[in-house]
């Protein structure tokens, strides 16, 4: 019995070595003709989800236009070993030398393990997680401060609302989401001191039925502008449009979904980063390990204004964008939380201050609770 | 090898030529269970080829990519085997209760809770208990949790007449909610503000790969589990009693079989298999418990079990076929520019055609034993 297992194991080993040899041979063949840079990108959802994945897919489409760059795309890859196998498959079968892993849960342990296994391949992950002290040098992070664009949404919404109530459909009460909610409030309050933001958490990233329910509940509660932070904002935007409420988008351009009520939306502009990587690799420069920025670095943008935006709102929003480009701070302290009234932001923080990454509170002016 | 008892049931089995004839006719009727599914799979690929032609893609390219992505290189084979390993265990979670006449589709919940409990019991043990006993405790805790979880469905079925299919499905959502509740609350690792997870169990406490491959040990355990459960269900009195109960519930009761205990036991075994899959997801892959555990393996396992005709021995090959199709799915997306849903269309076609092919059994005279 045990000898049979050993034989099988030995067989597997030999097979593995033989094939490794074969693939080495193939590898050299490939590099001989590989003048092209192959970029592999994995998405956690569908490329046309009107949200997070679409924002990346739009940028990849722009990257494809760059001569000498080939793209290998795979969608609906879950945050399990499936992603590590997909990335490995891109490296082994497609010859990818840069891997873009776009979902939060891909990083630990999958990207980290593969980066160690394939030291010649560059891995970049779309969340600020890379740690210089512990993580491999061929891995890295890129991220956009989308809360800046949400702040601009807040400005435009603050001058487009009549009820002074903005509704926010949020997935989970985690730091990135909380920062977006708080930024909408601060943006709205910067132009309309009476504005409030009412938030409902659905509990998960993609819960279309609950998102629709939450949208309806917010409209019923008197909110006349609805925005959100969920994976695919399509349901929220369409439901709000049907109810006659105005909307601000998230992640990608949802303008076409709401011809009557769309104000503007917070969008990533990943193509700035992707084209930068491709240019660096081509010119032989080392890739940056950590990229993060907002309007200042051209990593985020706002969707084109829709019919729902008031002229004053447009003007104020454009002015806000100019301010953010110059680094005007969003979190101007002291600011209190909405639960205990304690001061949670003691002073004014720069927009990229790491202090803001650990946000676990909603500011006074937000109606809703993180628990 | 099992000809002797069968042969005795035929008149004239003592005649020297008879055993040969019987074994060949048995071989003939067994062949039916191999030939029909293979024909069904071929038929579903042909149907899928029509679908591909309709959207202007080449079926030949498709098949070549399925081969290359799923089986054609050493990397592809390892990819396939690794992907098949949770499917083997979750398919067992469907196949074992099927033998006693129950349709359990809640393997996903048992997997998630099993993995969650494995990660939780690991936390106090890390750094205190050496890895090997710690892993055993984790695996045991996972199997126990899964066993209790699906065992509840069996108990409800027997004691209260609750439909086990619905109960197990609904318990899945409760199981996932329980994990999320703790992972996002009391047991959350606060060092990670953006992905709610339990504390990592640590490198030293993780299950490695089968030497010489990148496939984790879960695959081998899954195959061994299939063998063991096949023997349990077909070669023991327990298995016999379970099959009698599945065949005719009332007859089993009339015979004095402990029907209630048999049902709960089969369900508990099923849950333990799914729980073990959860253990391997945590201990070999994720290193901690979080929402990624609910990746749908429990549901794909249902498909695998049905395609394997609820036979534990058929589960590994079917799971490997599925693993291969899924593994190739990525390559197909990338090379042919097809959406991810294409592979799901193929899986769906295989499923429908195979279920339809069930009606073909017993219709071909070529499979009938001679002289009957």
Query: What is the value of pTM for the model shown?
Result: 0.79
Measured between CA atoms, the residue of chain B closest to residue A128 is B194
DSSP assignment, residue A294? S
Tell me whether residue B2 is in a domain.
no
Tell me whether residue B217 is in a domain.
yes
Other C-beta atoms within 10 Å of A29: how many? 10
Partners of A47 on chain B (C-beta within 8 Å) are 339
Determine which of B65, B186, B194 to mutate to test the interface with A (most A C-beta atoms within 10 Å): B194
Angle (nearest 5°) at CA A360 between A357 and A365: 110
What pLDDT is stored for residue B24 in this prediction? 67
| pLDDT tens digit sequence for B60-84 | 999 999 999 999 899 999 999 999 9
Task: Give the CA distances from residue B230 to residues B152, B244, B312, B315, in Å, rounded to whole numbers and listed in that order.
Answer: 23, 16, 5, 10
Contact present, A167 and A219 (Cβ < 8 Å): yes
Tell me whether residue B131 is in a domain.
yes
Instruction: Find all residues with CB under 8 Å of A76, minimum gap 6, and list them.
Output: A43, A44, A45, A46, B340
**Does position B27 have pLDDT exceeding 70, yes or no?**
yes
Q: How far is B194 from chain A (nearest CA, A)?
A: 5
Domain count, chain B: 1
| pLDDT tens digit sequence for B123-152 | 999 889 999 999 999 999 999 999 999 999
Q: How confident is the model at residue B37 (pLDDT cuts 50, 70, 90)?
A: confident
What pLDDT is stored for residue A22 in this prediction? 40
Q: What is the average pLDDT value for chain B, to the nearest integer?
A: 88
SS3 A1: coil
Q: Which of A18-27, B43-52, B294-303 has the lowest average pLDDT?
A: A18-27
| pLDDT tens digit sequence for A287-337 | 999 999 999 999 999 999 999 999 999 999 999 999 999 999 999 989 999
C-alpha to C-alpha distance for A42 and A161, rounded to whole angstroms: 38
Token duo for residue B268: 């508990």
Partners of B327 on chain A (C-beta within 8 Å) are 85, 89
Q: What is the average pLDDT value for chain A, to the nearest integer?
A: 89
Contact present, B106 and B317 (Cβ < 8 Å): no
Contact present, A75 and A43 (Cβ < 8 Å): yes
Which of B184, B286, B330 minimises the CB distance to A86? Answer: B330
What pLDDT is stored for residue B344 in this prediction? 84
Q: Which of A159-168, B43-52, B349-358 has the lowest average pLDDT?
A: B349-358
Tell me whether residue B140 is in a domain.
yes
Q: How far is B371 from chain A (nearest CA, A)?
A: 40
Does B194 contact A88 at a Cβ distance shorter than 8 Å?
A: no
Instruction: Find all residues with CB under 8 Å of B267, minimum gap 6, and list them.
Output: B97, B102, B104, B150, B151, B153, B154, B155, B157, B164
- What's phi and psi for A200, nearest 5 deg? -125, 125
Q: Which of A199-203, B17-21, B223-227, B270-274 has the lowest average pLDDT?
A: B17-21
What pLDDT is stored for residue A34 in this prediction? 45
**Of all residues in chain A, what percent carry a pLDDT higher than 90?**
77
**Does position B10 have pLDDT exceeding 90, yes or no?**
no
**Does position A109 have pLDDT exceeding 60, yes or no?**
yes
Partners of B287 on chain A (C-beta within 8 Å) are 108-109
Bond preceding residue B200 cis, omega within 30 of 0: no
Residue written as tokens 């491959």?
B213
Partners of A92 on chain B (C-beta within 8 Å) are 73, 75
Token duo for residue A25: 């041979």
**Does position A26 have pLDDT exceeding 70, yes or no?**
no
Q: How confident is the model at residue B18 (pLDDT cuts 50, 70, 90)?
A: very low
Q: How many CA atoms lie within 13 A of B14 on its CB side?
A: 0
What pLDDT is stored for residue A35 in this prediction? 60
Contact present, B241 and B169 (Cβ < 8 Å): no
Is the model more confident about A28 or about A117?
A117
C-alpha to C-alpha distance for B114 and B108, rounded to whole angstroms: 10
Residue written as tokens 């879950």?
A78
Chains A and B form CB pairs within 8 A to the count of: 109
Tell me whether residue B211 is in a domain.
yes
Residue A248: beta bridge partners? A264
Instruction: Find all residues with CB under 8 Å of A15, minimum gap 6, and list them.
Output: B74, B77
**Does position A14 have pLDDT exceeding 70, yes or no?**
no
C-alpha to C-alpha distance for B176 and B293, rounded to whole angstroms: 9
Q: How far is B157 from chain A (nearest CA, A)?
A: 31
**Does position B289 have pLDDT exceeding 70, yes or no?**
yes
**Of all residues in chain B, what percent carry a pLDDT higher than 90?**
61
| pLDDT tens digit sequence for B108-130 | 999 999 999 999 999 999 889 99
Contact present, B85 and B274 (Cβ < 8 Å): no
Q: How far is A2 from chain B (nearest CA, A)?
A: 13
Tell me whether residue B239 is in a domain.
yes
C-alpha to C-alpha distance for B95 and B319, rounded to whole angstroms: 13
Q: Which of A245-249, A268-272, A359-363, B183-187 has the lowest average pLDDT?
A: B183-187
**Does position A167 have pLDDT exceeding 80, yes or no?**
yes
Does A174 contact B194 at a Cβ distance shorter than 8 Å?
A: yes
What pLDDT is stored for residue B364 in this prediction? 79
Which of A22, A74, A78 minimises the CB distance to B333? Answer: A74
Q: How far is B171 from chain A (nearest CA, A)?
A: 19
Comparing CA positions, the residue from B122, B112, B72, B67 lying closest to residue B90 is: B112
- Residue-range definition of the domain harbouring residue B207: 88-307
C-alpha to C-alpha distance for B269 and B266, rounded to whole angstroms: 5
Per-residue pLDDT averaged across A139-147, rounded? 95
Tell me whether residue B75 is in a domain.
no
């Amino acid at each position: 019995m045990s000898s049979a297992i050993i034989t099988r194991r030995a067989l597997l080993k030999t097979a593995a070595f033989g094939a490794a040899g074969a693939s080495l041979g193939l590898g050299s063949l490939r590099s001989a003709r590989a003048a092209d840079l192959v970029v592999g990108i994995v998405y956690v959802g569908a490329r046309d989800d009107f949200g997070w994945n679409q924002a990346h897919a739009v940028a990849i489409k722009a990257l494809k236009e760059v001569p000498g760059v080939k793209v290998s795309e795979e969608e609906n890859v879950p945050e399990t070993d499936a992603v590590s196998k997909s990335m490995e498959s891109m490296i082994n079968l497609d010859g990818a030398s840069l891997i873009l892993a776009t979902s939060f849960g891909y990083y630990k342990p999958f990207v980290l393990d593969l980066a160690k296994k394939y030291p010649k391949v560059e891995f970049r992950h779309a969340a600020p997680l890379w740690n210089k002290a512990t993580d491999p040098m061929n891995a890295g992070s890129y991220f956009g401060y989308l809360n800046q664009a949400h702040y601009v949404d807040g400005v435009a919404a603050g001058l487009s609302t009549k009820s002074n109530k903005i509704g926010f459909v949020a997935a989970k009460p985690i730091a990135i989401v909380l920062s977006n909610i708080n930024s909408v409030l601060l943006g709205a309050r910067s132009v309309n001191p009476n504005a409030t933001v009412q938030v409902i958490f659905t509990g998960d990233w993609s819960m279309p039925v609950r998102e629709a329910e939450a949208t309806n509940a917010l409209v019923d509660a008197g909110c006349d502008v609805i925005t959100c932070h969920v994976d695919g904002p399509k349901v929220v935007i369409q439901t709000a449009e049907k109810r006659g409420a105005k909307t601000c988008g998230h992640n990608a351009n949802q303008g076409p979904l709401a011809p009557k009520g769309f104000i503007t939306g917070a969008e990533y502009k990943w193509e700035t980063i992707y084209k930068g990587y491709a240019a660096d690799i081509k010119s032989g420069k080392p890739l940056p390990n950590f990229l993060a920025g907002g309007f200042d670095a051209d990593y985020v943008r706002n969707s084109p204004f829709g019919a729902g935006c008031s002229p004053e709102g447009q003007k104020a929003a454009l002015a806000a964008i100019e301010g953010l480009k110059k680094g005007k701070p969003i979190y101007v302290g002291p600011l209190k939380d909405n639960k205990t009234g304690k001061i949670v932001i003691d002073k004014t923080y720069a927009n990229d201050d790491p202090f803001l990454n650990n946000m676990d509170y909603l500011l006074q002016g937000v109606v809703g609770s993180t628990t | 090898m099992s000809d002797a008892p069968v042969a005795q049931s035929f008149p004239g089995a003592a005649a020297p030529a008879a055993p040969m004839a019987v074994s060949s006719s048995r071989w003939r009727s067994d062949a039916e269970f191999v030939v029909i599914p293979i024909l069904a799979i071929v038929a579903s690929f042909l149907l899928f080829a029509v679908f591909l032609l309709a959207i202007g893609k080449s079926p030949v390219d498709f098949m070549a990519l399925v081969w290359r992505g799923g089986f054609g290189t050493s990397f592809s084979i390892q990819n396939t085997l690794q992907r098949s390993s949770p499917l083997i265990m979750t398919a067992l979670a469907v196949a074992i209760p099927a033998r006693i006449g129950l349709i359990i589709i809640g393997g996903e919940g048992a997997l998630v809770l099993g993995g969650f409990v494995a990660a939780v019991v690991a936390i106090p043990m890390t750094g205190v208990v050496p890895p090997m006993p710690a892993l055993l405790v984790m695996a045991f805790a996972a199997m126990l949790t899964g066993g209790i979880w699906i065992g509840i469905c069996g108990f409800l079925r027997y004691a209260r007449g609750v439909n086990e299919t619905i109960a197990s499905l609904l318990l899945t959502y409760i199981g996932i909610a329980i994990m999320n509740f703790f992972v996002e609350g009391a047991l959350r690792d606060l060092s990670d503000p953006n992905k709610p997870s339990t504390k990592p169990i640590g490198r030293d406490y993780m299950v490695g790969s089968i030497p010489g491959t990148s496939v984790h040990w879960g695959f081998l355990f899954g195959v061994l589990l299939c063998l063991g459960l096949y023997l349990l269900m077909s070669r023991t009195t327990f298995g016999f009693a379970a099959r009698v109960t599945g065949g005719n519930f009332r007859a089993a009761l009339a015979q004095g079989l402990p029907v209630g205990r048999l049902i709960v036991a089969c369900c508990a075994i099923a849950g333990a298999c799914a729980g073990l899959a959860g253990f391997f997801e945590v201990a070999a892959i994720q290193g901690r418990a979080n929402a990624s555990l609910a990746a749908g393996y429990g549901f794909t396992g249902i498909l695998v079990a049905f395609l394997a005709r609820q036979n534990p021995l058929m589960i590994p090959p079917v799971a490997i076929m599925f693993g291969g199709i899924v593994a190739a799915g990525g390559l197909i997306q990338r090379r042919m520019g097809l959406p991810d849903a294409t592979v799901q269309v193929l899986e769906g076609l295989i499923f429908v055609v195979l279920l339809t092919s069930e009606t073909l059994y017993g219709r071909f005279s070529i499979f009938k034993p001679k002289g009957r």
